[in-house]
Structure 1
Amino acid sequence: MSDIKRHIPTPIMHRVVEANGFLFLGGIVAEDRSQDMAGQTRQVLDKIDAYLAEAGSDKRKIVAATLYATDLGQKDAMNEVWKAWLDPATLPARATLGVSDLAPGALLEVVVTAVK
């Protein structure tokens, strides 16, 4: 059986779970939800940077990401921030899904899998 480590607890989950050399980051949303899609995307990506660093990894080691957006009409703004954040040589597999509802005021939620 593998050793499972849990990082960054919240009342309902751990933000990062580590198992078999993989890091699984739970749904991450922006704190300041008054910002537009680009602003919320930057906040989420900053959180991902911090969570990965705390677990001993970084964004270059992301292997997959799923982005949930409440308005796919704002996908271009989200993608501009995403592309500026990542090195084109280390882009992960990614899916973007339109959803009708997230946390109140959240325009985006991101789930990430990375390697340690």
Structure 2
Amino acid sequence: MTIRRIHVGPRMSGIVINGNNVHLSGMTAANRKDRSVAEQTGDILKRIDELLADAGTSKQHLVQVNIWLSDITTFSEMNAVWDAWVMPGHTPARATVEARLALPDIKVEIQVLAALP
């Protein structure tokens, strides 16, 4: 089986395609300073749309999503943005947990597994 990597960096690849599976690295907002959970979530979801397009797929083909929040009390705020973005009838399996994230200004991190159409 061939493994294809897109947006390869020294530490990780932004996209790894293995068979029909498209794996995105954990995504955080590029601009985080003084940004709310909703704003960070919106930025991340926009970037996920872009990366899925780079891989030849879309949010319609989401399989599984993991979401980490630095503060679980922001769950509803994140979900408001998520619910407006996700495609009805194409919702993935999903887990959301609270975790201490890599940097203090990261409020949300999202990792995606999607399928190729």
Query: TM-score with structure 1 length normalisation?
Result: 0.95
The one-letter amino acid paired with 1:30 is A
- Aligned twin of 1:83: 83
Partner residue in 2 for 1:93? 93
C-alpha distance after superposition, 1:33-80 (max 9, x if no partner): 121000000000011000000010001101000000100101101000
1:13 is aligned to 2:12: yes
Question: Which secondary structure does the structure 2 equivalent of 1:54 belong to?
Answer: helix
Q: Which amino acid aligns with 1:93?
A: A
SS at match of 2:73: helix
Q: CA deviation at 1:8?
A: 1.1
Counterpart residue number, 1:65: 65
Question: Distance in 2 between the 1:77 and 1:39 partners?
Answer: 10
Q: Report the equivalent of 2:24.
A: 25
* Unaligned 5+ runs, structure 1: none
Partners of 2:46 and 2:9 in 1: how far apart?
18
SS state of the match for residue 74, structure 2?
Answer: helix
Residue 102 of structure 1: how far off its partner (Å): 2.7
Contact 1:33-1:40 at 8 Å conserved across structures: yes
2:26 is paired with a residue whose SS is strand
Question: Partner residue of 2:40?
Answer: 40
Given that 1:40 and 1:108 are in contact with CA atoms closer than 8 Å, whether structure 2 keeps it comes out as yes
The number of aligned residues is 115
> When the two structures are superposed, what TM-score results if normalisation uses the length of structure 2?
0.94
CA RMSD of aligned residues (A): 0.9
- CA–CA distance in structure 2, aligned partners of residues 10 and 108 of structure 1: 21
Letter of the aligned partner of 1:16 in structure 2? I
